[in-house]
Structure 1
Amino acid sequence: MLLLLGLLLLGATGAFVGLVIADNTGGPTYDVTILGHQIATMTGLAIFLSGVALILVAGLALAMVKLGAGRAGRRRQLIRSARAAVAGPAGRGDRAPGQPVGAKPTGEVAGTASPRTRRRLHFGH
């Protein structure tokens, strides 16, 4: 849920910044318009501070994306370990005694994919 909310917030922030830049390319005027509507008249300092605020919102969105992705990965790992615990040694069925767990018959094609490695998002580290 955090992942989706963070991506939504990041997209909304990007769209707002894009619209403000696209609608205010006509010189040194400080009337801020979006889609043909004037929303504010701002001084240079106000424009600078609104940019700082937008960067903070974008940083919050990226942090939420990172936290949501980490939570989803931990949840998947927990589900995998719970399924493995329920299956137990009897759930691995068709291997001969003494045969290693990782060995697969040579004719088997489906289900031989290696497990996915966990990727971590690193922002600024």
Structure 2
Amino acid sequence: MRIDKYLWCIRIFKTRTLATTACKKGQVKIDAKAIKPSREIFGDELILVRKNQINYQIKVLDLPESRVGAKLVDLYRKDVTPKEEFEKTELLKFAKDYYRKKGTGRPTKKDRRDIDNYQEDSID
């Protein structure tokens, strides 16, 4: 089975096109080598998939005939991703909040006028 089809079948990617694109970008690796979407996959291989800033490690247990339901996914793959990978995303969330609060950004026209008026009043 092709690697892009396998990743789609076990619901790592929502569409097969997304799986193919990830392979072409080098986000899918086997044995630390970027692979093409047409590479054949076999049992007992370890696949590294970079998705949403997390490096997932998936061990192939079996090859499904077609896309499987979410409850049956664990029959075909084993997720061996270390917990540290998920902790990194938590740290990224805290780092982003430190610099800027959510919802704050560039000042609106009203904010800009208020700032200008404040500056003019402080000069006088």
TM-score of the two chains, using structure 1 as the length reference? 0.28
| Higher-helix-fraction structure | 1
Larger radius of gyration: 1
